[in-house]
Amino acid sequence: MVNYSKAGLLGESARSQRTLTRRAALGWTLSAVCVSSVRATAADTSKPSLNENLNGYLTGLHDPVIIREGDRYHVFGSGGWAGKPGPTWRVSEDLKTWRDNGSPLEEVPPWAARLIPQANSVWAPDISYVDGLYRLYYSVSTGGSMHSVTGFATTPTLDRSSSHYGWTDHGLVIQTVEGGTYNAIDSNFVVDFNGNHWLAFGSYWSGIKLIALDRKTGKPATTNPHLYSIAYRPAPTGGDNPIEGAFIFVRGHYHYLFASYDYCCKKEQSNYYVAVGRSRDVRGPYLARDGHSMLDGYGTALIVERPWGSTRWRGPGHCGLMHDRDRDLIVYHAYDVEHDAAPTLRLAELNWTHDGWPVALV
């Protein structure tokens, strides 16, 4: 086990603690000032939105990720929102009609329950296919706390009818404790251009972090124990600095860092949105389209409700991406004000501008 939570590690200074009870006007103002947008230089945006045809099991979803095995698509999301502790799991063959597929984990894993005894659900799963196994990273924590853990489980197949199906839990990957400077939740696995394995994670406090992983174990690499900071939201002393839900997507000559800014989980009052920056080096710096750094709170807005509080779909965010044959997909959640602001599955295809920036066909 490597514990990255100790204050002062690698020169990190303490930051203000996470507060979920306040949606400060300053937070939205900072976002509007600092975040640029992809506009008219986009590729073809005339394609119909995938969102228009979604049906079936769509609600009770937070923090989704997506993967395909064969002709079946799988979306995983945080547990707790559908009345069960394990991550939600829904499947579709056509990206339109979705049905419940149970959960990969029926309970909070015992090792995590011992470390976080107040936790009652498994958060923010991240799914990848790694060296012949499907690998699901997940986090366990409690609201507003940096007392958190991330672990992972694997299975040879996602097909429940297969004799090879079955999840094996591999225990603790990273842990943070109260009094540290960052938070071990919202993990995302990525392989860089050189085949090196990394894990991005973080929520509020001092932002999004990145660590190297050992390829064989899927856990922190002892050969490179450095903790890299790749995105942060500056805030006044005592103010909130909401950034979380990192997802690094490799395309062309760049690593693209998608992150969610501002506030989720407030139903129709949520003002969550997705911003993106890119870097040739997985360790950063990640820059917005206007050249400003995500470490300084900048980014290029990708999926955002405008004007805020005016549409059916509030607080779109916490995305996952996948390359699907000849297209790229982005999955995210948003709050449907026509159905009691239920957190709901949303899905879009990405187009790319001539200079390599994503445009979501929402």
* pLDDT digits 0-9 by tens, 98-129: 999 999 999 999 999 999 999 999 999 999 99
Could you tell me the sign of the dihedral formed by the alpha carbons of 256, 186, 201, 323, in that order? negative
> What is the rounded average pLDDT of the residues 293-322?
97
Nearest to 248 by CA among 218, 208, 217: 208
Between the two ends of the chain, the Cα-to-Cα distance in Å is: 41
Is 270:264 a contact under the CB 8 Å cutoff? yes
Residue 310, judged by CB atoms within 10 A of its CB (0-12, 13-18, 19+), counts as exposed
Which has more confidence, 63 or 37? 63
Q: 168 in helix, strand or coil?
A: strand
Is the pLDDT at 43 greater than 70? The verdict is no
Q: What is the CATH number of domain 2-10+63-320?
A: 2.115.10.20
306 dihedral zone (left: phi>0; alpha: psi -120 to 50; beta): beta
Is the pLDDT at 238 greater than 80? The verdict is yes
| Beta bridge mates, 185 | none
Q: What percent of the chain has pLDDT over 70?
A: 87
Give the model's pLDDT for residue 47: 79
Is the pLDDT at 220 greater than 70? The verdict is yes
| Highest mean pLDDT: which range of 15-19, 139-143, 236-240 | 139-143
What are the structure tokens assigned to 230, written together?
Answer: 């790749």
Give the model's pLDDT for residue 83: 81
Angle of CA points 342, 343, 345, to nearest 5° = 120
> What is the rounded average pLDDT of the residues 193-217?
97
Catalytic residue among 12, 126, 186, 244: 244
Residue written as token pair 């040739």: 280
**Confidence category of residue 10, pLDDT binned at 50, 70, 90:** very low
Q: Which residues contact 260 (CB under 8 A, 6 or more apart)?
A: 243, 244, 245, 272, 273, 274, 275, 317, 318, 319
> What is the rounded average pLDDT of the residues 25-29?
33
63 is catalytic: yes
Catalytic residue among 63, 126, 262, 349: 63
244 is catalytic: yes
Give the model's pLDDT for residue 13: 36
